[in-house]
Structure formats: C-alpha cells, structure tokens
Structure 1
Amino acid sequence: MRRKDSLCIEFAFTLPRGLIDAQNRVHRHGVMRLATAKDEILVQKEPKVQENSGYAVLVMLSRVITRLGSFNQVNSDLLEELILPDISYLRELYNRINQQGNALIPTQCPHCNTEFSVKLKLAGES
C-alpha cells in the first residue's frame, strides 16, 4: 500500500482468476488507487458510457487500476477480457476502499482453491 502522508491511496490486489493475454500469460496481481471527483466526472464524459451506461463500471475501474500484471496502463478494452468473478472482485474492492466500508475481501488460493477473506487495512485503522 502506498501512502500520501497518513492516507493510504493505493491498494495491492490479487484477482481470483486473472487476465490471460495473447501469449497465454496470466495477470492476477495489480494495484488500485482511490478514486477522485475528476474520475467520476470523466467517466460520464466517456463516449462509450454515453452510448451504453454498462461501460461506466469498466471505465471507472480502468481509471483507478494503475497496474495489472505487466500492464502499466489499463483501459476498458483490456478489462472487457476479464471473467465476471474478477470484475465482481474489482467492483467490491473499489467500493470498499472508496466508501470505507467492510474491509473483508473474498479471495481464493490459486494453489489449492480454498476460499477465504482478506482484511484490508484502510486509512485510519489500527
């Protein structure tokens, strides 16, 4: 987690399944930052979102995910390739870090497939 003064602004994550690229590499580890008011405004101006409101989630996630595997730039086209459990995971992570809600994130061990929850340490928590 990267901090700016005492506020945690970036959160590392591991996707349940991951994105498989053209070379069959799986990208599961990434970083998401806190959203800003500017992010919210720019999502609404995005042509894809104006044409189909269903893209709003993907566009917002593409703005706040700063890294996914070896991808240092994430866009909505890239996120379209994720399976639904990964999108659900990212939406839940986004909601929890931005709304300071329950910090338990469901995840799954990539080796034994055991499901468990990981507690995020949010800003101000001890």
Structure 2
Amino acid sequence: MSLRTEYPFTLPKGYVDDHGTLHRTGVMRLACARDEIEPLRDPRVKENDAYATVIVLARVVTELGTVARVSTKTIESLFVSDFSYLQDLYRIINFQDPSILEAMEPGTPFPMESAEVA
C-alpha cells in the first residue's frame, strides 16, 4: 500500500489570470510541517494572522491549469468560493479521510462537516 500525496481538484468557479484565461483544474499535495511553519516567519503574517492561509495554499497547490507557478498573488486573486474550497480540501486531505473525495463530483462544495475541522 502506498501513500497518496497529491489530489486533483476542480474549482467551483475558477481562477482568471491576467490574460482572462480561466483555470479550474489543479493539484494539491499533502502539507509537511515546513509548509505550516515557514509562513509564521513572513512579515505579512505578522501584520495579519489570516495571511498564513494564503501562503500555505500557495505552497501546497502545485498545479492550477496552465499557470506557470502558483504564488500568493494567485491565491489572493481567487474568488472567495474557490479560496474556501481550497481551504476545505486542505483540511480534508491533511486531517480527515480523503476517501470522501472519491464520492464527490469535481467542483462541488464539500459536506458541511469538513468546514468545521480546525
């Protein structure tokens, strides 16, 4: 049995880049301790604790359509529903049972239980 470390996703709305191209599919990897520790050193997090989430997602989202590199600017530019979707996906793959993802249609909201996890 091998450990699955990457999870494909489809955003509910999608990221629109500077050229107007819509990107909906992507890949998120499992987080490591460094992904949660490094953002705490960032001055933007010292100004606003909530910014840590933006940095963490930029680190663990490894693919988003044809975007060359997912950055904090990319994550900041997501629609709120897509940002929330990625937060939920992060919680599910890192802290819950990711097998629930197999029963879902791509881009559909996650069950409410997933949003209640720290």
Q: Rate the CA distance shift 1:75–1:30 in 2: closer, same or farther, 3 A.
A: same
Question: Which structure has more RCO (C-alpha within 8 Å, separation ≥ 6)?
Answer: 2
Residue in 2 aligned with 1:112? none
Q: TM-score, normalised on structure 2? A: 0.81
Cα distance per residue 1:46-79 (max 9 Å; x no partner) = 1211111121111110010011111232111111
Q: Is the aligned partner of 1:90 residue 2:90? A: no
Query: Residue 57 in 1 paired to residue 56 in 2?
Result: no
Matched residue count: 108
Where is the strand percentage greater, Structure 1 or Structure 2? 1
Q: 1:40 aligns to what?
A: 36
Tell me the CA shift for residue 6 of structure 1.
Answer: 0.3
Distance 1:51 1:106, change over 3 A: farther
Measured in 1, the distance between the counterparts of 2:30 and 2:60 equals 7
Structure 1 residue runs of 4 or more that deviate by more than 6 Å after TM superposition: none
Over the aligned positions, Cα root-mean-square deviation in angstroms equals 2.3
- Structure 2 regions of 5+ residues with no counterpart? 112-118
Give the SS at the match of 2:66: coil
Identity %: 43
Q: If the length of structure 1 is used for normalisation, what is the TM-score?
A: 0.76
